[in-house]
Amino acid sequence: MPDKEMLVKVRDLKIEGRAGEIWTQIVNGVNIDLHRGEVLGLIGESGAGKSTIGLAAMGFTRDGCRISGGTVEFDGIDLVNASAPQKRSLLGRRIAYVAQSAAASFNPAHKLIDQHTEAPTWHGVYGRTEAEEDAVSLYARLRLPNPDEIGFRYPHQVSGGQLQRAMTAMAMSCRPDLIVFDEPTTALDVTTQIEVLAAIRDIVDRFDTAALYITHDLAVVAQMADRIKVLLKGDEVEEADTRTMLAAPREDYTKSLWAVRSFVRNQKPPAPGNEVPVVSVKNVVAAYGKVPVLHGIDFDIHAGRTVAVVGESGSGKSTLARCITGLLPPLSGSVEFDGVALPADYRKRNRNQLREVQMIYQMADTALNPRKTIREIIGRPVEFYLGLRGEAKRMRVEELLEQIELEPAMFIDRLPSELSGGQKQRIGIARALAAEPKFIICDEVTSALDQLVAEGILKLLANLQDELNLSYMFITHDLATVRAIADEVVVMKAGKVAEAGPKNVMFTPPHHPYTGLLLSSVPEMDPDWLTTLLNERGIDNIGDAASEKVG
């Protein structure tokens, strides 16, 4: 949009970060041109400097970072050299920020509307009463339920998607010229995400606000941005109009990003009917205290197969995993392993039963003890279950490290904090493998990772399955992952199995209505996808509302 006036002009921006006492450059000369009313998408893997650049465009750096070169101009004002009072008069008033986790960004001790009205009253845009009226109209605009009343709730009384929209409303409170969105939908389910995306797009259009939209999800950025800029390790890779970028990326790196979603594994033939399943979940009913969570779950997992369990958060996926591992003994029903019922409580299972069922966790950060070296983390199950010690143990640990494609000599004495996210997840896999199990539960193992890294993990898991004839239960809310790795799919909704069957059947119509809703809510790379979907369904018929109707 060259006809509109230039709002943000970043030239040759260099940012340094501090590790100990040494400053290293993390952003190497990035240029940004953003015109009024335009949305620029910044994409890249973690460590690409997306967030750092987004914050720098507001004239801000995190602790331990500094702008070491280049200029940042906002509407002609030099933000790098602006004084604190000067910045104070801009931030919140003309530049606003929407963070990834709204739950962590709202102050839990104040009501939403009190936090909303703080900026406009402080900047003198509105009086308190007008600000409240405006907040209500913004809540309505963002399609929050009960806009008159919702502002008087505390952050914990509102769901994640609603909170994210309330945060967007708050950013809008002074009608800023620029909003920086830092991964606003990454932590949300597909059905909730679509709601927030529609709301953000609507309001940005309506008030002609310029936006920097930071994300690692290509399909999302395709819906939101007018132009896309691809970043890699603090360098600009390329920048182009959204449609051009999607249709014809120039650089190899961009092409590799585009290609990630194409990893699909061939579906295995269904197991013979008379084969005893490795794990058989029989009519499991479970509750937390008096709150029922699972209402009679039934399915089988056969040797060498992957069963993907999908559903929104709160549908009982993780609870099911807890029932299988024995952390939450079910109220009724049982879990059979190789045709034999496992004791309900993990404390009553013997060492061999524990060994056969292993788990890989979503957050590798909390799944690995930060004070133990890789040698100890992987070595412990080797010693504990197989009784290997000394040299034999060391050999086995090195062998496992090779299996997960990490160089033993380099990694064996490191602490988890010295590894990247993907490497940590690999260690989690190695720890599970060390027990030599038959069955592994993978609880959202790729959802915290970048797409390229996630793809590597999926490929590794697939190879290990072929090699060791492992069975996986793959818990996820990402349908792209399901498409890539599953043999069978179990769709869960509100503690029940909504639909189950082989992958090819599940992904071809006709669908169960809920499966259909999940499938159609997954963003596609087509930039018109969201518009088409909204036209088809109407803005009131997406996300949670639709989910309730289907249920």
Residues within the interface to other proteins (CB under 8 A):
63-64, 83-85, 325-327, 346, 349, 351, 354, 357-359, 361, 363, 366-372, 380-381, 384-385, 431, 435
Strand partners, 493: 496
**β-strand 332-337 against 306-310: which pairing, if any?**
unpaired
To other proteins, the closest distance from the beta carbon of 163 in angstroms equals 23
Q: Which is nearer to other proteins, 258 or 385 (CB)?
A: 385
Rounded to 10 deg, the angle between the 451-468 and 252-259 helix axes is 50
To other proteins, the closest distance from the beta carbon of 80 in angstroms equals 12
User: What would the two tokens of residue 267 be?
Assistant: 């579906």
Q: Which is nearer to other proteins, 155 or 428 (CB)?
A: 428
Q: Which is nearer to other proteins, 126 or 361 (CB)?
A: 361
Burial class (CB in 10 A: 0-12, 13-18, 19+), 296: middle
To other proteins, the closest distance from the beta carbon of 410 in angstroms equals 17
**Lookup result for tokens 């970072």:** 65
Q: Which is nearer to other proteins, 476 or 515 (CB)?
A: 476
**β-strand 291-301 against 279-288: which pairing, if any?**
antiparallel
**β-strand 235-241 against 227-232: which pairing, if any?**
antiparallel
Edge-to-edge strand list for the sheet holding 210-215: 95-98, 178-182, 210-215, 39-43, 227-232, 235-241
Q: Which is nearer to other proteins, 203 or 445 (CB)?
A: 445
Q: Which is nearer to other proteins, 335 or 359 (CB)?
A: 359
To other proteins, the closest distance from the beta carbon of 84 in angstroms equals 4
d(CA 530, CA 269): 35
To other proteins, the closest distance from the beta carbon of 156 in angstroms equals 18
Q: Which is nearer to other proteins, 136 or 435 (CB)?
A: 435
d(CA 61, CA 54): 9
- Helix (H) or strand (E) holding 220, with range, is helix 218-224
Establish how many alpha carbons lie within 13 A of residue 385's alpha carbon, considering only the half-sphere containing its beta carbon.
21
To other proteins, the closest distance from the beta carbon of 176 in angstroms equals 23
CB 281 within 8 A of CB 312: no
Rounded to 10 deg, the angle between the 513-521 and 190-206 helix axes is 50
d(CA 344, CA 342): 6
d(CA 429, CA 67): 39
Q: Which is nearer to other proteins, 198 or 475 (CB)?
A: 475
Its sign, for the CA torsion 94, 100, 102, 106, is negative
To other proteins, the closest distance from the beta carbon of 92 in angstroms equals 18
Q: Which is nearer to other proteins, 135 or 441 (CB)?
A: 441
To other proteins, the closest distance from the beta carbon of 417 in angstroms equals 11
To other proteins, the closest distance from the beta carbon of 370 in angstroms equals 7
Q: Which is nearer to other proteins, 343 or 516 (CB)?
A: 343
To other proteins, the closest distance from the beta carbon of 389 in angstroms equals 13
d(CA 336, CA 343): 9
To other proteins, the closest distance from the beta carbon of 167 in angstroms equals 27
- Helix (H) or strand (E) holding 105, with range, is helix 102-105
Q: Which is nearer to other proteins, 435 or 475 (CB)?
A: 435
What HEC string does 479-522 produce? HHHHHHHCCEEEEEECCEEEEEEEHHHHCCCCCCHHHHHHHHHC
d(CA 377, CA 435): 12
CB 190 within 8 A of CB 201: no
To other proteins, the closest distance from the beta carbon of 368 in angstroms equals 6
Q: Which is nearer to other proteins, 115 or 325 (CB)?
A: 325
